[in-house]
Amino acid sequence: MKTYHVAVGDKEYIVKVEEIAEGAVSQKTVAAPATPVVSEAGDVELIEAPLQGLVLSVNVNPGNAVKKGDTILIIEAMKLENEVVAPKDGVIQQVFVTQGQTVDAEDALYSIA
């Protein structure tokens, strides 16, 4: 186990990190990835940002067909990349964000039908 001191803004944290062998599964609880908020209007679903951050990439355009689990865009928050994935098979209707844009939690990201 290694101990690190991490400064975020004016606060300092002590973080302990355990190294495990590649391919090994830790028995400790791991935080689940952020899940986008879904708002339905008829057959069109509005996907909202699960957290505040910077849009690093947008991988789709309106009219693109996607499969459930496809990475639609990536949001960076606290130096971590968070993939926002398609909640279902469908067609992208609109994309409301662009690369380099900062979003707040629950901002509209895209719609899918």
Return the pLDDT at 1. Answer: 65
Q: Decide: 73 and 103 in contact? Cβ < 8 Å.
A: no
Percent of the chain residues topping a pLDDT of 70: 73
Interatomic CA distance for residues 71 and 101, integer angstroms: 18
Return the pLDDT at 4. Answer: 73
- For residue 102, pLDDT over 60 is answered with yes
Confidence tier at 44 by pLDDT (50, 70, 90): confident
Which residue, 46, 40, 48, is CA-closest to 107? Answer: 48
- Bridge partners (DSSP) listed for residue 16: 3
Q: Domains, the chain, ranges and CATH? A: 31-112 (2.40.50.100)
What is the mean pLDDT of the segment spanning 18-32? 57
- For residue 51, pLDDT over 70 is answered with yes
The pTM for the full model equals 0.62
Return the pLDDT at 30. Answer: 44
Return the pLDDT at 33. Answer: 44
